[in-house]
Structure 1
């Protein structure tokens, strides 16, 4: 929440999208207003904003796995408030690969598509993740005291952020997964929500985020024999 408070208001909803829905960064940046079903309380994840050779395009999620993610009421309220302040913007990008098509089949597959993105930059365009990470996310981390402020790194006076891979946007997805498991959600359901094909991978990746793993099992046995 401290990191969220340190971000410009137009980007803050990305914290709820990452931590409340478990989306990858590209999926969060590619989320469209039309995707969100407030009535059924579900968010279909159908695309991401992907960078290919420094250019942006729309593409299927990682592994080409589309999925549905439950929409918590608190996240729905935050998204609705965001949409009242920042109306979704129609953005047109090529599909899957921004390079010029070489065949009619390529041209058909890569034809530009338009979606009303929930979050855009000040220029009302899709967000470049490199820009976001360097000029929005890391300054917010520094503002919240998670990482150090920018420091001069060499004689040229260039300024770089301290290494902070573990504090990247993906940490929000880790937060979502660990909270879901700690609350008792099944690994199978969580794997489906995260877009993992193997629940075993989900368990191996996130089990160490459970500081109280095993407590519920012990309590269950105590309840039987007490």
Structure 2
């Protein structure tokens, strides 16, 4: 039986990571208010989790309808720091009007918080070069935790995301608790925050966007990788071209 967070493909098989829009909205509704906009950031912009946590107000160009993906919140041995996005590549992503509206509403509800952390490596520097490279930087983060600090992914995934998945009916809570008394959940790796990124990719392809454009927006260096990963979401091969020729020769 397929997951309630997926829908069957046309050939009857389950498509992993293809979230139903209603499930995405249900998970969003189950999140605490301060975290809800992370759903729009993941499903509407395709950002990775660390990139969503590192998004600042200065990265949003509402007039140009562009989001600049310039950094991520990275964890190094349980400590957080800022760093370049995965692959050390910055990029630009189109800003849909619905996501822009959600970002504006979030900022009205919770003002961005200036957060200062080391760059790239939180460990104490051992040389002047390391000290210069790792010097702390401050960004006005759009989404922060309850203590107004950068979000720790371990806390978010276990204490915020999984409870929301359970409330939305995507996963079930296990009856027994963990040895330390904390709540235990059924395995849900395929339903992690990255599922929103897959949702974004699938929606873009099914809407007819090119693989080359999608690869650039996702931060993939090779469009071939994007094609291999998401080819099953492409519209039926030849359908649109055939329809265009039919229009000519009908």
Q: Distance in 2 between matches of 1:43 and 1:221?
A: 37
> Counterpart of 2:73?
49
1:85 equivalenced with 2:109 (yes/no) = yes
> What does the per-residue CA deviation read over 1:110-158, in whole Å, with 9 as the maximum and x for residues that have no partner?
0000000000011000000111111111111100101012431678866
Alignment deviations for residues 65-85 of structure 1 (CA, whole Å, 9 cap, x no partner): 100101111100000000000
- Kept in 1, the 8 Å contact 2:116–2:137? The answer is yes
Q: The residue matched to 2:164 in structure 1 has which SS?
A: helix
SS in 2 for 1:148: coil
Question: What TM-score, normalized by structure 1, do the two folds share?
Answer: 0.95
Match of 2:170 in 1: 146
Using the alignment, how far apart are the partners of 1:63 and 1:197 within structure 2?
8
Give the whole-Å Cα distance in 2 for the aligned partners of 1:199 and 1:164: 28
Q: Residues 197 and 41 (structure 1 numbering): CA distance in 2 closer, same or farther, change over 3 Å?
A: same
Aligned equivalents of 1:116 and 1:12: distance in 2?
Answer: 18
Question: What is the aligned counterpart of 2:62 among 29, 34, 38?
Answer: 38
Give runs of aligned pairs for residues 17-166 of structure 1, distance below 5 A.
Answer: 17-152=41-176, 159-166=183-190
Unmatched segments (≥5 aa) in structure 1: none
Question: 8 Å contact 1:94–1:111 — kept in the other structure?
Answer: yes
Q: Size of the alignment, in residue pairs?
A: 225
Q: 1:25 to 1:94 in 2, by over 3 A?
A: same
If the length of structure 2 is used for normalisation, what is the TM-score? 0.86
Q: Which residue of 2 aligns with 1:198?
A: 222
Measured in 2, the distance between the counterparts of 1:203 and 1:190 equals 9
How far has the Cα of 1:207 moved from its partner?
1.2
Alignment correspondent of 1:219: 243
